[in-house]
Amino acid sequence: MKRIILLLIAAVLFVGCGKLTTIQSPDNSLSVSFRLADDGRAEYSVARDGAPVIDWSALGMQCAEADLTREFTLRGVDSRFNQQTWETVWGEEREINDTHNEMTVHLRHSTGVEMDIIFRAFDDGFAFRYSFSEQETKRLTVLDEASEYRFVADHEAWSIPWRTEYYEGLWTKAPLSDKTDTMCSPITIEMQDGTYAFVHEAALRNYPAQNLHVQDGALRIYLTPWLDDKAQPLPDKAYIPVPFPTPWRMVILARDLRQMVASRIMLNLNPPCRIEDTSWIKPMKFMGIWWGMHIKAMTWEQGPKHGATTANMERYMRFAKEHGIDAVLAEGWNKGWEDWQHFSFTEPYDDWDMDYLSNLAQELGVEIVGHNETGGNAADYESVLDEAYAYHQQHGIHAIKTGYVSPIIRTVDGLQWNKGQSGVRHYRKVIETAAKYHIMIDNHEPVMPTGLQRTWPNLMTQEGVRGQEWNAWSTDGGSPCEHVTVLPFTRIMAGPVDYTPGVFKFENPVIPGTRVHSTLMNQLGLFVCFYSPLQMVCDLPEHYMEHQDAFRFIEEVPCDWERSMLVEGKIGDFCVFARLGRGTDNWYIGGITDEEAREVRVPLSMLDEGEYSLTLWADDEGADWQTRPYAYTVTERKVTNADTLTIRMAAGGGFAATVK
């Protein structure tokens, strides 16, 4: 049930050049001010508790038709207050509160173009976007945005370079002034006063993804460009119809990490759900014929070691049924893997019986997760979307993992960046077409998430991360222990992540030198610390049976939540999360640490009154990710909300707990 209170305050304020117009957050702690400089330049600034956070920063857009960065006059200002609570289809919590003040600044350019700038002030941050209403100008060619964030100090930022393929990089921290490369959005900023900022965008559609670079002391937006027929960047960034609203530019301003990870500004900036009947959208844990290919025990293409055979799929499905896993993914079931030229999404290999397996899935009550790898040929995929999704729907398949393994994808507009305007359009078409066929999407090699799952909740999860598979084959030996302790505060802040946790066997003699940099308990902790409503249980069935008492946690942990909270953490060092299973009284707690062992305290004050049964999976006293990764203990006892757990995490370790 939605509870909505909406108060509108309509005001028209005519303000002369140089005069301020300010909007406050609902609790009055944050203020966002707007002004026009003498030459008609639009600027804004942000203060918290009266102290400046962002100094006067430029606004506007450079377009081929008009330089919309100066020569503006102010037509008026409207403001309104919004208070609303809405219910998620799935998520880290059931209900989300959206309380903000909004200010719309109406501008007219010297060329006659009318542009609005809409600001929203939340207690934990702010956002702005540009909007063009119906007018004489019908189309604009965007060359870039002038939008910038002029932070008042040289804070330290976590980022990856914008040209990182598929966003699969290791996040690094450095002062903003040392960030010489253009960065992907988002970035997470550790401010000098101990507070935090998270800079990203929301509601990206029919527009290129933003990137960020430091110039003249300001953090500026660089839009992903169009490419020419030789895949070289053009000056054009976007072709927008008028009327049109751009994506929101958003900044979370949090007093601590708990407030930052709890912020829902990005979701609140997206439109409400457009799918009337969402009963078919179901969060799931799924296994997969997938890890075997990465460790070279199986192949995607048909042959002696083919993974996606009828017999192997049946083995996985029966294992999933026995152990409470909702679904099984099969990669390599369809023709095209032998040359990566033209994948078919309706023609199985000879050793895959789709009719038999779909009937078996119905009999067992285990879902099949389809897999559609495009090899980056988005145009071909787009041309057969209806045929492909109708085929999957006919066989009872309601979830598909898509893939675009190519640094530049072939769209209907030719070779383009996946996060350019053409790529963004393609991914949106996939999501909307899938919804018509009641199909959920797990998007790999995606555009960075921007909260579209609120509008299209069949967009369940996305990759866009240096995930677990790097630990199977990367020539650098795999991701360092620190990597997973950075992601909850950077990439996962942008949205659900298909990182694929749950490796139970760390050595792989087929690829010497590779290694999962964690203990077994760290892998369990990931199921709580990393949020995804489609959560993969990635390892082979036989590896799980070597540690059945540890696998019990994976069998029990859900992937849809009533409430979620960060208990404690430090970016790049460790984190501890607690989550309440949706529709239950059961809590699940998980922690992970970097290469340093550490002890954490977990107050159970989130529990209601009464006695609970605690099961704790923790690193043994002598555990270590390098020398004793499989050393762990399982303990059980009674607890109440007055108790505090003291838990030791080994180097590269972690823990998991159920509180029922």
Q: Can you give the pLDDT at residue 11?
A: 35
> Could you give the CA distance from residue 285 to residue 538 in angstroms, rounded to a whole number?
10
Whole-number mean pLDDT of the chain?
A: 96
Residues 254 and 348 in one domain: no
Identify whether 469 is a catalytic site residue: yes
Does residue 418 share a domain with residue 321? yes
Q: What percent of the chain has a predicted confidence (pLDDT) above 90?
A: 95
Q: Tell me the β-bridge partners of 655.
A: 591, 618
CA distance 166 to 408: 10
In CATH, what number is assigned to the domain containing residue 215? 2.70.98.10
pLDDT digits (tens, 9 = 90+) for 33-71: 999 999 999 999 999 999 999 999 999 999 999 999 999
* 346 falls within a domain: yes
The residue assigned the tokens 């330290």 is 156
Are 200 and 249 within one domain?
yes
Is 135 a member of any domain? yes
Q: What is the pLDDT of residue 148?
A: 98
* pTM across the whole model: 0.96
- CATH of residue 400: 3.20.20.70
* Residue 569, strand partner residues: 575
**Full residue range of the structural domain in which residue 127 is found:** 3-268
Together in a domain, 385 and 403: yes
Asked if residue 403 and residue 347 are part of one domain, the reply reads: yes
- The answer as to whether 483 is a domain residue is no
CB atoms within 10 A of CB 245: 17
Q: Which residue has the tokens 């640490």?
A: 593
Active-site position among 469, 482, 556, 562: 469
Which residue, of 428, 443, 464, is where some domain finishes? 464
The total number of structural domains that make up the chain: 2
Distance (Å, whole) CA 98 – CA 118? 16
User: Does some domain include residue 34?
Assistant: yes
Residues 239 and 285 both lie in one domain: no
pLDDT 10s digits, 526-576:
999 999 999 999 999 999 999 999 999 999 999 999 999 999 999 999 999
Residues 230 and 282 in one domain: no
Asked if residue 249 and residue 157 are part of one domain, the reply reads: yes
Q: Check pLDDT > 50 for residue 13.
A: no
Kindly state whether residues 300 and 384 are assigned to the same domain: yes
Q: Could you give the CA distance from residue 619 to residue 625 in angstroms, rounded to a whole number?
A: 10
Same domain membership, residue 336 and residue 199: no
Which of 401, 435, 464 is the last residue before a domain boundary? 464
User: How far from 327 is each of 215, 333, 400, 456, 469, CA to CA, in Å?
Assistant: 48, 16, 11, 22, 20
| 494 inside domain | no
Q: How confident is the model at residue 510 (pLDDT cuts 50, 70, 90)?
A: confident
| Residue 566 domain flag | no
| Residue 344 counted as domain residue | yes
Which of 211, 239, 268 is the endpoint of a domain?
A: 268
Residue 567 burial (CB count, 10 A):
19
**Which burial class, exposed, middle or buried, applies to 639 when counting CB atoms under 10 A from its CB (0-12, 13-18, 19+)?**
middle
Q: Which two tokens stand for residue 53?
A: 């956070």
My answer on whether 125 and 159 are in the same domain is: yes
Check residue 40 and give left, alpha or beta (phi > 0: left; psi -120 to 50: alpha): left
Taking a C-beta distance cutoff of 8 angstroms, is the pair 68, 61 a contact?
A: yes
Question: Residue 5 pLDDT more than 60?
Answer: no
Beta carbons of 593 and 485 less than 8 angstroms apart: yes
SS3 state at 484 = helix
Q: Is residue 525 part of a domain?
A: no
Q: Kindly state whether residues 191 and 245 are assigned to the same domain.
A: yes
